[in-house]
Amino acid sequence: MLSKRILGFVLACGMSLTGIAHAQDVEGSSDHPLLTRFTTATIRSYEVRDYDEALLPAGRIDDSETTGNLLKLEGKVTRIGYRIPGDHSVLEVMRNYEAALAQAGFETLFACNSHEACGIDMMALIANTGRVRPTAFGDAFFGETGERALLARRDDGDGPVHVFLHAVEDTSTGRTVLYQQVVEAVGLSTGQVKVLQADELKKSLERMGHVTVSGVYFDTGRAEIKPESDPALGEMARLLEADPALTVYIVGHTDNVGSLAANVTLSQARAAAVVERLAADFGIDRARLSPQGVASLAPLANNSAETGRARNRRVELVVQ
């Protein structure tokens, strides 16, 4: 919570405390408790995830497809898209945020003050790829003349808090567009999903011909299987050991973030990694396992929101 001293400072800097939610805001939205809005700003998009992954630019971005200069975090994620009338410049808006964050004890990890300094692909990364800001989130911007970004961190008692801000002055619409993302370190509530047992996997295969195997985990953009995937791999092995005649496709699926070609390669590599683990660690004959990567071509849900993208990132068994 902001102290009275910080609240007073925020007021002095020209940031609004006239209400956490405003009449023109999108329904259900509000400012983050740690950071109020700039005066006259309205919320155009809003999303809160109790626990999610976040990628925050921590340096200039010259290639929106690479992972360089991106800080990967997990925790409670709040994403807010603000619209600010054009009589307030990007400089004025960001100077107010910089002052408020500094007064509140945040350390600046990265800041840029122009399109050239932020990198030629900073805007593309944030607006188009879905890796930082969800796709179709907030206002689009055109004819921009000013761009600034800021990443700041403060260590609180429960862990670090990161704030990322990206502001663009849109000359075509006469407004400033601000994207704000706050990532708070929180503990993950586990035990909400169970790994399907081998007999449950078998029933699904017999009924539908395919089954999603929950609990197989990879880092973003990587094909190395994480250690916490061992229980799920063990149940797949038990299924295959119990039915020596069963042959399956191991199918890797991704969301639609990034290019299709890259995701085909990634999903194929992930499927192959599962085959390798089943053969090397559990003694399953590789001839019974065929790795296939289909990228985002067989989604379970809409890829426009993170909830859908999370469902689409999966490993399936399909009967050959």
The confidence score (pLDDT) of residue 13 equals 46
Summarize pLDDT for 28-52 with one digit per residue, the tens: 999 999 888 998 999 999 999 988 8
CA angle 200, 202, 203 (to 5 degrees): 65
The confidence score (pLDDT) of residue 172 equals 80
Of the candidates 246, 263, 245, 244, which has an alpha carbon nearest to the alpha carbon of residue 255? Answer: 263
Q: Does pLDDT of 16 surpass 60?
A: no
Phi and psi at 90, nearest 5°, equal -55, -40
Summarize pLDDT for 237-280 with one digit per residue, the tens: 999 999 999 999 999 999 998 899 999 999 999 999 999 999 99
The confidence score (pLDDT) of residue 149 equals 96
Domain 198-319 class, CATH top level:
alpha beta
The confidence score (pLDDT) of residue 192 equals 61
CATH 3.30.1330.60 positions along the chain are 198-319
Beta bridge partners of 225: 218
Structure tokens at 289: 């396992």
Summarize pLDDT for 158-205 with one digit per residue, the tens: 889 999 999 999 888 888 999 999 999 987 766 666 677 888 899 989
Quick one: how far is CA 198 from the chain centroid? Answer: 32
How many Å is the maximal CA-CA distance in the chain? 74
The model's confidence at residue 290, banded by pLDDT at 50, 70 and 90, is very high
Alpha-carbon distance of 162 to 132, in angstroms, equals 14
Residues near 153 by Cβ (< 8 Å), separated by ≥ 6?
Answer: 106, 107, 109, 160, 161, 162, 163
Alpha-carbon distance of 129 to 256, in angstroms, equals 9
The confidence score (pLDDT) of residue 127 equals 87
Q: Does pLDDT of 14 surpass 90?
A: no
CA angle 305, 311, 313 (to 5 degrees): 100
